[in-house]
Homo-oligomer: A and B are copies of this chain.
Amino acid sequence: MPGNRFGNVFNVTTFGESHGVALGAVIDGVPPGFRIDKEKIQKALDRRRPGQSHLSSPRKEGDQIQILSGLNTDSVTLGTPVTLMVLNHDSRPRDYQDILEVFRPSHADYTTYKKFGIKQTSGGGRASARETLARVAAGAFAEQILSQVWPDFSVVAWVDSIHDLDASSKTPEKMTRDKVDKSIIRCPDPRVSRQAELLIAKVKSQGDSLGGSIYCYIQGVPEGLGDPVFDKLEADLAKAMMSIPATKAFAIGSGFAGGRMLGSEHNDCFLAKNKQVTTLTNHSGGVQGGISNGEPIYFRVGFKPPATIFKEQKTVNALGKNVSFKPKSGRHDPCVLPRAVPIVEAMSILVIMEHYLRQKILINQVQELNAKLRQKKARKAKKDIS
């Protein structure tokens, strides 16, 4: 209940402050028997790590993943809790000493203080984007399980827009992470990528920041995942996305634009082909009545510009006085979008993983039952004969 846990069956608890000893995640509910490649987790962390390009925070963190529990000596899951940990190296609590005096505009300083009655000694504490490394690690862990279960499973996200630059993505089903990573903006539209690079550099030099949106496309998820009432698949995806720092909006399938369509335009007609049911269109975004229908799941997530800017701003200090504030130092991204791409992917995977495991309770329920009834009948028949 206390808010640092995600998922009820695949149960991820993240821990660690931005400028503490370590950050990580404990995952309870990992199914046994899956071989895990630590390097794949490292690769995901590397995509989220600061200092990847001249456009992101220069904080130097190797972010080397350690697995403290849950695997046997062959790297196979035991069904016990998995602990993923990264030690902090380049934490500089002193950078934040001036912050202790003021509540930075649109940061979590003020609300966190009001909630907990205690000021974090440094940085953003748990509200810092640094916490998301634990999510990325947990997501990369879960992805390896789902990829073994569903060979066609894939989750690919990319930057869809930066400020007023909108990318076009005509064939999302062909997108791969490699293609996305060819752009340091993680935007696969070459024109927009180039323009965005220039724009970010310019805005950075002005001490300002930029927002935008990320598009996520999920393939290879079977029918039946999600619940019909509160835990609809899209509801859990929305929560997952809106729990990422700096997000302000979520839209699945047709999104807000769907409200401008007629029912006869919006309905996704079913089509049976080769004993498989598909839909002619996919305005639903792969989810109907809260449950996956086997079509690709896609959605967009809106990010506001980061709150940390290097401009003079009016604010209030801890004594309740109006003051002017301009951060002296600190290592921040003028635009978080490129580094947020693996976070969006990771959170998507955690939602899918949770509902995959939940659905295992139902799958074959009736079949299993029928099998038992057949056995019973067979036993009876045998008795009657003897």
Whose C-beta in chain B lies nearest to the C-beta of A357? Answer: B361
- Known contacts: A120-B72, A266-B304, A365-B117. The answer to whether A108 contacts B243 by CB under 8 A is no
Interface residues of A in 252-270 (CB under 8 A from B): 252-256, 258-270
Query: Which of A43-51, A54-62, A180-188, A286-294 lies on the face that meets chain B?
Result: A286-294
Q: How many copies does the complex hold?
A: 4
Chain B residues whose CB sits within 8 angstroms of the CB of A291 once the complex forms: 108, 111-112, 114-115
> How many residues on A have C-beta within 8 angstroms of the other chain's C-beta atoms?
171
Contact A320 B24 (CB under 8 A): no
Q: How many Å lie between the Cα of A319 and that of B268 in the bound state?
A: 19
Residues B362 and A116 in contact, CB atoms below 8 Å apart: yes
A225 to nearest B CB, angstroms? 8
The yes or no answer to A218 lying at the interface (CB within 8 A) is no
User: Are A149's CB and B369's CB within 8 A?
Assistant: yes
Residue in B259, B264, B269, B309 whose beta carbon sits within 8 Å of that of A303 in the complex: B259
Taking a contact as CB atoms closer than 8 A, the residue among B72, B117, B212, B367 that contacts A259 in the complex is: B212
On whether the beta carbons of B115 and A359 are closer than 8 Å, the reply is yes
Name the contact of A1 in the complex, choosing from B237, B358, B379 (C-beta under 8 A): B358
Interface set, chain A 312-346, CB cutoff 8 A to B: 313-316, 320-322
The answer to whether the Cβ of A242 comes within 8 Å of any Cβ in the partner chain is: yes
- Nearest chain B CB to A121 CB, angstrom units: 4
The DSSP consensus for interface residues of chain A is mixed
A208 to chain B: closest CB distance in Å? 5
Q: How far is the CA of A209 from the CA of B288 in the complex (A)?
A: 17
Q: For the complex, is A17 an interface residue (Cβ under 8 Å from B)?
A: yes
- A259 x B161 contact (CB < 8 A): yes
Per-position contact with B for A1-39: 1 when CB-CB < 8 Å, else 0?
111111011010111110011111010110111100000
Question: Which of B73, B262, B309 touches A209 (beta carbons < 8 Å)?
Answer: B262
Q: Write out the residue numbers on chain B whose beta carbons fall within 8 Å of the beta carbon of A320.
A: 272, 275, 277
Cβ of A22: which chain B residues have Cβ within 8 Å of it? 68-69, 83
Q: A83-B24, A259-B163 are in contact. Are A270 and B105 (CB under 8 A)?
A: yes
Per the 8 Å Cβ criterion, residues 101-138 of A in contact with B are: 103, 105-108, 110-112, 114-118, 120-121, 124-127, 131
Given contacts A230-B243, A315-B269, contact A149 B372 (CB under 8 A): yes
The 3 closest A-B pairs by CB, nearest first: A108-B289, A3-B227, A209-B263
